[in-house]
Structure 1
Amino acid sequence: MTLAISTRVNAERFWSTIEQSAEIGKGREGGLSRLALTDADKEMRDLFVSWCRDAGLSVSIDRAGSIFGRRAGQDNDLPPIVLGSHLDTQVNGGRFDGIVGVLGALEVVRTLNDLGHVTRRPIEIVNWTNEEGSRFSPPMVASGCFAGAYDLDWVHARPADDGPTFGDELKRIDYLGDAPVGGRPLDSYFELHVEQGPILDAEKVQVGVVTHGYPSFGALVEYRGETAHTGPWPMEKRRNALLAAARLLVAVDDIGWDFAGSGGKATAARLIAWPNKPGILSDWAQAVCDVRHNDEEAAEVMAERLRRAVHEAAAKTGCQAEILDTWSWGGRIFDESLIKLVRQTAGHLGYSHRDLPSQAGHDAYFMARICPTTMIFTPCRDGITHNNRELAAQDETVPGVNVLLHSVVARADR
């Protein structure tokens, strides 16, 4: 059973949830700083759980802290359709990145409740833990664990920048659930998200049909050198770990510029060192960097240059280098039948739409490893995200929520 073509979500109700979310964990003016497993994240989680229960959903929390709200179907033995995103933000984050996907999913089930429509398959909405990776590295760690990419004990041991571990903070905020992480069949996964790019806004297109993700490679690199006085110690004897990490990051930035003409991007994301004080050389440093390109072969060339740059920086500074962690995602990972469904749904509803890639990482990338997966993009003003000036408008966002509603129901009722 499909919905009437005229069926739409309650736009005002959906936007009210966005606005209530925007009051929790405020950062710079207009933005949010709601880092994973902080008190602000707990407050938002508590509100989300209450909304789920008010909508008649049964709530479960897995051992990675991800929250699932399940709406029963006509045949609950069938694997569920899952839709959602994340409620945590960057340190200087916006009010929409991830949040639109979770609260858009909530609005889908609320609308189905209004209609009295029970889908054949059950529907679950999800808030994934620590998508951003701002407080615990790497990003998308909970969805990665759900998909089998990370071991749960390893996830629980991830240290926060401010000291405690992932597992400790789950316990502290009372979101260490008892549900297993993954290991169960899913029918499919849908993720609605603001574009995090300027294309839809610049072209005044209402809905983005995500065809693939930029192939991306990232690394966490550690350098070890030797402390010494910055005055008398001879240059030829210096082993400055801070300098080694800085050389790597400059080299990575150069890689990005070498491929910028064809759409490649490279990021020097982070540098920390110890002691990192005047008058003394640092004997330890860590750097985080990544490269990405729409062309898979070009992305691999960039990744290989990054790997070489790690050891070249060590050689030039007399330091030891170790790649502590790597991650990669993207490519042609999304399900063609779901892409077609989203595209056709947008057309049937009368919305302008276009195909485009995702240039950022998302939980959907890991979910694509275990079930058919697709993404839907909505416009973001000027394409700026991970910034307090991130801006989306109600009338520009709701079309994507309506496409999510109709696509999910078509999938769930087949």
Structure 2
Amino acid sequence: MLADPAARTEKLIVNSERLWASIMETAQFGGTLKGGVKRLTLSEEDKQARDWLVAAANSSGYATGIDDLGNIYIERKGTEPGRLPVAIGSHLDTQPTGGKFDGILGVLAGLEVLRTLDDAGIQTKAPLCLIDWTNEEGARFAPGELGSEVYAGEVERSFALSRMDADGISVADALEAIGYRGKERCGERRFSAMLELHIEQGPVLEQEKVAIGVVTAAKGQIWFNGVIGGRESHAGTTPMPLRKDALSAFAEFALAIERIANAEAPAGVGTIGVAVIGPGSRNTVPGSVRFSLEFRHPDKKRLEAMRVRALDAAALISRTRGCDVLLEPIWAKDPVQFSPQVADVIRESAIALGLSNRLMVSGAGHDACAVALKVPTAMIFVPCKDGISHNEAESATPEDCAAGANVLLHSALALAGRA
């Protein structure tokens, strides 16, 4: 993969006002009273955002394609059409109480890159292809990253299309309902590289006052569903030594998970995000707790060590508390190493633009993590206020968004080559 050094010397910048206007305009599709966005994948609000993007592409004369997972491909021609396109991708779906920037910045900045090149009359040798990946968030249909993972061959098409939401609606049915189940087969397209611009979703860049994160890797993840089985009994008549209190056992297990994660800090993290106590009666000793558990770590061996220690903790508490602690692994993803060559292009573009930068590992999953298994890929991070994301308060400045878009622009131009 050869980048075009001359492309970096261009004093070319995106139209930051137009980019910001696009972000604010699309935030109306599913906008919430608190200033966030609720745009679950393949919902009516998602259709509105998709329609907006396709209309913008058509008005600029770009070729638009849609595959059978609903991934949208928007291609700006190159002068050498035989060359594989350089992809720019992210997502437009959000969490139920999401913000205006998570994923959205990457798509709209990609659109702005294409528009900026049009305005400047610049042609690239390789085509540029903007992608809106389906169901990155996984908030309506689990797991997330379905569109990109089917593309990369990590997930079977039939599995993805059969995923159902809480109302029993499948991905296949939802695609049909909003008119975005295309005829193109997901996975058929080929790219020479992919770039993804994203807010950091963490506090490091803001705290260190660094403009650009050059993302070289992403943490591996292991997800579990867990259940602790105790015995329901009367809260007033059951002596403490005779209780099999599932909640007390869960509390001990939760603290064990915290110790496991702290032992791997700062690289490793562990989270119990959901806990449901049964039967949920004030005067009944809890008989069950159902919970979620996940670990993340950039080192595969250390991630496995965390898994083993969690199983050991579950076995120990089962013996000492008289409550069954069961862990069911439901999903796992190895740590991802992004392309050093693509990361170098990103860093060199940031330096050429005079922007401070640092190497980073992503703690969150992204479409780039899936695509990287098939296409040389790397990511660009920009700061977000207080590191807050998956929250209606999610915020980024116009200046930071523009800086990231400019790095995206020059990285894409370097990879595609100026004609």
The TM-score bracket by the shorter chain reads: 0.7 to 0.9
3-state SS of 2:378 partner = strand
1:26-65 aligned within 5 A: 26-27=31-32, 29-65=34-70
Q: Give the C-alpha shift of residue 342 in structure 1.
A: 1.0
**More off after superposition, 219-228 vs 123-132:** 219-228
2:296 aligned partner = 292
Structure 2 residue corresponding to 1:302, chosen from 299, 306, 309? 306
**Residues 243 and 317 in structure 1, CA contact (< 8 A), matched pair in contact too:** no
1:190 aligned partner = 195
3-state SS of 1:290 partner = strand
Q: Give the C-alpha shift of residue 46 in structure 1.
A: 1.4
Partner Cα distance (2:256, 2:157) in 1: 34
2:120 aligned partner = 115
**More off after superposition, 67-76 vs 9-18:** 67-76
Change (3 A) 1:223 1:50: same
Structure 2 residue corresponding to 1:383, chosen from 384, 387, 390? 387
**Residues 310 and 321 in structure 1, CA contact (< 8 A), matched pair in contact too:** yes
1:262-411 aligned within 5 A: 262-271=266-275, 287-309=291-313, 319=324, 321=326, 323=328, 325-331=330-336, 333-411=337-415
Partner Cα distance (1:144, 1:385) in 2: 23
1:132-143 aligned within 5 A: 132-143=137-148
The AA in structure 1 aligned to 2:358 is R
Q: Give the C-alpha shift of residue 308 in structure 1.
A: 4.2
Please give the per-residue CA displacement for 1:68-112, whole angstroms capped at 9, x wherever unaligned. 111121222222111121111112211111111010001011111
Change (3 A) 1:201 1:302: same
Partner Cα distance (1:199, 1:256) in 2: 19
3-state SS of 2:342 partner = helix
State the structure with bigger RCO (CA 8 A, min sep 6), 1 or 2: 2
3-state SS of 1:392 partner = coil
3-state SS of 2:294 partner = strand
Q: Give the C-alpha shift of residue 227 in structure 1.
A: 9.4
Please give the per-residue CA displacement for 1:304-329, whole angstroms capped at 9, x wherever unaligned. 22344566667766558462522224
Number of residue pairs aligned between Structure 1 and Structure 2: 411
**Residues 28 and 92 in structure 1, CA contact (< 8 A), matched pair in contact too:** no
2:223 aligned partner = 219
The AA in structure 2 aligned to 1:196 is Q
The AA in structure 2 aligned to 1:68 is Y
Q: Give the C-alpha shift of residue 218 in structure 1.
A: 2.1
Partner Cα distance (1:154, 1:319) in 2: 31
Report the TM-score, using the length of structure 2 for normalisation: 0.87
Partner Cα distance (1:28, 1:304) in 2: 44
Q: Give the C-alpha shift of residue 219 in structure 1.
A: 1.6
Change (3 A) 1:269 1:107: same
The AA in structure 1 aligned to 2:211 is Q
**Residues 226 and 292 in structure 2, CA contact (< 8 A), matched pair in contact too:** no
Partner Cα distance (1:234, 1:164) in 2: 47
1:259 correspondence with 2:267: no
Partner Cα distance (2:185, 2:397) in 1: 37
Change (3 A) 1:222 1:399: same
Partner Cα distance (1:376, 1:364) in 2: 11
The AA in structure 2 aligned to 1:81 is V
Identity %: 36
2:19 aligned partner = 14
List runs of 5+ in structure 2 lacking aligned partners.
none
1:150 aligned partner = 155
**Residues 242 and 273 in structure 1, CA contact (< 8 A), matched pair in contact too:** yes
**More off after superposition, 233-242 vs 306-315:** 233-242
The AA in structure 2 aligned to 1:400 is G
1:159 correspondence with 2:164: yes
The AA in structure 1 aligned to 2:28 is E
**More off after superposition, 222-231 vs 333-342:** 222-231
**Residues 298 and 335 in structure 2, CA contact (< 8 A), matched pair in contact too:** no
Change (3 A) 1:227 1:59: farther
Structure 1 residue corresponding to 2:71, chosen from 58, 66, 70? 66
Please give the per-residue CA displacement for 1:205-244, whole angstroms capped at 9, x wherever unaligned. 2111112223x32224254969977679999999998888
Partner Cα distance (2:311, 2:183) in 1: 39
Q: Give the C-alpha shift of residue 397 in structure 1.
A: 1.6
2:214 aligned partner = 209
Partner Cα distance (2:330, 2:239) in 1: 33
Partner Cα distance (1:227, 1:167) in 2: 42
The AA in structure 2 aligned to 1:252 is I
The AA in structure 2 aligned to 1:73 is G
3-state SS of 2:181 partner = coil
Q: Give the C-alpha shift of residue 121 in structure 1.
A: 1.0
Change (3 A) 1:183 1:278: farther
3-state SS of 1:269 partner = coil
Partner Cα distance (2:387, 2:173) in 1: 36
Partner Cα distance (1:6, 1:115) in 2: 11
Please give the per-residue CA displacement for 1:283-313, whole angstroms capped at 9, x wherever unaligned. 9875332112345543332132234456666
Q: Give the C-alpha shift of residue 374 in structure 1.
A: 0.8
**More off after superposition, 349-358 vs 395-404:** 349-358
List runs of 5+ in structure 1 lacking aligned partners.
none
2:109 aligned partner = 104
